[in-house]
Structure 1
Amino acid sequence: MPLVNNKVGDDSTVGKDKALADGKALVDSLIKVVACYRHLASCVGGSTDSLQLRDELRQTREKAQKLAEAICHHLTSHLRDKSLPDEQRKEMELLWVAFSSSLELFHVDMCKVFNMGDIFLLANSDNLVKTGLQGGGSEVAARALSLPDLNQDEPATLPAGLESQERCTMEQEISQIDQMIDDMEMKVNVLRWMVEPHGPQYADPLSSTDSASLALVSVDEEQPGQPLCQRKHIFVFVSLFAVALVAATLGLGVVLFS
C-alpha cells in the first residue's frame, strides 16, 4: 500500500489559505486608503485647501501606491499558479476585481487632484472657492495611514517651487498607475463580468416562501385604496342599473299606450 505524505498536502493548503488571507487584508487596506484619498481630493480648491491638505494627499497617495504594488505582485503570482484550487482561485479573482476597481478609482482621483491643482494654486489663495467648510481631513488621513496623529505646523509661506515640483512628481505617479493597470490586464486574464460575487451580502434576496410573503405584503399595501375603488364600482353599477330600469320603464309605457 503506497504511503501518502499528508503533511506536505496540509502545509500546501495552509500556505494557500494564508496567501488568501494576506490578499484580503491588503485589498481591504487599499480600499480604505483610496476612500481616504477620495475624501481629501474633494477638498482641493475649496476653503479647506491648504499646504497641509496637499501634504496629506501626498502621504496618502504614497501609501496607496505601495499597497498597490504589493497587491499586484501578490495576486499576480497566485493567479498564475496552475495548482491553485478552484475555490481559492475564485476568491483570488474576487480580490483581483476589487483591487483593479479600487486602482481605477484611485487613478481617477489622482487625475482630478492634478487638474484641480493646476486651477487652484496655493500661491494665490484668493482663488479658492469659499465653501464655508472648516477643518481638514487630518483625522481621516491618520486613520488610513495607521498613524496616531497628522497635525503639522503649516509654514507661513509656500516654499518656492514646491507646487511645480509636486505636480511633476504627481504626473509621473499617474503614469505609473496607468502603466500598472495596463500591465495587470496583460499578466492576468480575469474577465470581470465572469467573476460572480458570493457570500451573505450576495445571497438570493427571496426564497419561494419569501416571495409568497412579499405577495401578501403587496396585497396588504394595496388594501387601504380598495374601499374607494369598491365604492366607485358600486356607484357605476347602480348608475347603469338605474339607466337600464328607466329604459325598460319607458319601453313598457310605449308598448302599453301604443
Structure 2
Amino acid sequence: MAPGRGDMCHAQGTARTCAATQAALCKATARHRQLVLQLGGSADSPRLREERRRSSMEVRELSTGLQQVLLGGLRQAAVSPEERRELERLWVLFLCALELFLQDLCRTQHLCQLFSVQGGGAAPLRTGLGGQGPSSRRGSRRGGGPTQPPAAPGLEEEIEEVRAMLAEMESRANIPLWTVEPTQMVGTGGTTAPRVAQGRAHLEHCCRVL
C-alpha cells in the first residue's frame, strides 16, 4: 500500500526536527571545545571545569535524542527518496560530530591529569620546559618523578558513554561515510579549510549524500 499524505508529512517533520537538533548539537560541541581549550591555562578553575561538565552533559543529551529520532526516521517505510537522503546526510554529520566530541573528551581527560585544581584556586600554567620546576626537583629528591593526579570524576563514564553510542550508531545504520561530499566551497581568504570553530557550523550546509 502506498504511503499516505499523513505519513509523508510526518517523515518531512522528522527531517526538520533532526536538522534543528543537529544545529543545536553543533553549537553545543563547539562551546564544549572552547571550554576544553582553556583547561590548564590561566582561566582554569573549578568553575570552568564544572561548566565543561554541564556542557558535556548537554551534548550527550542532544546526541541521545537525535540518535533515537534519526534511527526512527530511517526505519520509516513512508520516507521518500529525498527525505531518506536528508536523514542519511544528517546521520553521517551526527556521527562525525560525535567522533570530534569524543576526541575533546579524551583531551579533557589528559589535561585534567596534567593540571590539577587544588584548594579552589586556578591551576598553575605549566610551560613544559624539561620539568625543571620546584615540584619536579622535589620529586627527584624523593627518588621518583612527580605523580599525576587522577582525572576528574565522571570523565571515564562520559568517554565510555560516547564510545558506546558511536558503536551502536555504526551497527544499527549502515551508512558509509564516503557517500557524503561537499556541495559548495566554504571558508574565505583563498583557503578551502574553515577554522575548527566554524567547521561544524558549516557541515550542515556543505554536504550531501551521493
Normalised to the residue count of structure 2, the TM-score between the two structures is 0.71
Residue 8 of structure 2 contacts residue 79 of structure 2 at CA under 8 Å; is this kept in 1? no
Superposition map of 1:20-35 within 5 A: 20-35=15-30
How far, CA to CA, are the matches of 2:59 and 2:104 in structure 1? 12
Give the Å deviation of 1:202: 6.0
Which digits, 9 at most, give the CA deviation of each residue in 1:17-46, with x for residues without a partner? Answer: 111000000111001000001111000000
**Residue 31 of structure 2 is aligned to residue 46 of structure 1:** no
Which digits, 9 at most, give the CA deviation of each residue in 1:23-78, with x for residues without a partner? Answer: 00011100100000111100000001011100110110000000000011111121
Residue 45 of structure 2 contacts residue 122 of structure 2 at CA under 8 Å; is this kept in 1? no
Alignment length (residue pairs): 164
Give the Å deviation of 1:121: 0.2
Pairing partner for 2:124 from 128, 149, 166: 128
Residue 20 of structure 1 contacts residue 92 of structure 1 at CA under 8 Å; is this kept in 2? yes
Normalised to the residue count of structure 1, the TM-score between the two structures is 0.58
Find the counterpart in structure 1 of residue 96 from structure 2.
Answer: 101
Moved over 4 A (4+): 124-127
Structure 2: runs of 5 or more not aligned: 128-148, 187-210
Change (3 A) 1:177 1:126: closer
Pairing partner for 2:12 from 17, 20, 25: 17
Which digits, 9 at most, give the CA deviation of each residue in 1:176-235, with x for residues without a partner? Answer: 10011011000000001023454xx369xxxxxxxxxxxxxxxxxxxxxxxxxxxxxxxx
Find the counterpart in structure 2 of residue 182 from structure 1.
Answer: 167
Structure 1: runs of 5 or more not aligned: 132-162, 204-258
How far, CA to CA, are the matches of 1:168 and 1:50 in structure 2? 15
How far, CA to CA, are the matches of 2:180 and 2:83 in structure 1? 13
State, as a whole percentage, how many aligned pairs show the same letter: 29
The structure with the greater share of residues assigned to helix is: 1
Superposition CA RMSD, Å = 2.6
How far, CA to CA, are the matches of 1:35 and 1:194 in structure 2? 25
Match of 1:12, as an amino acid? D
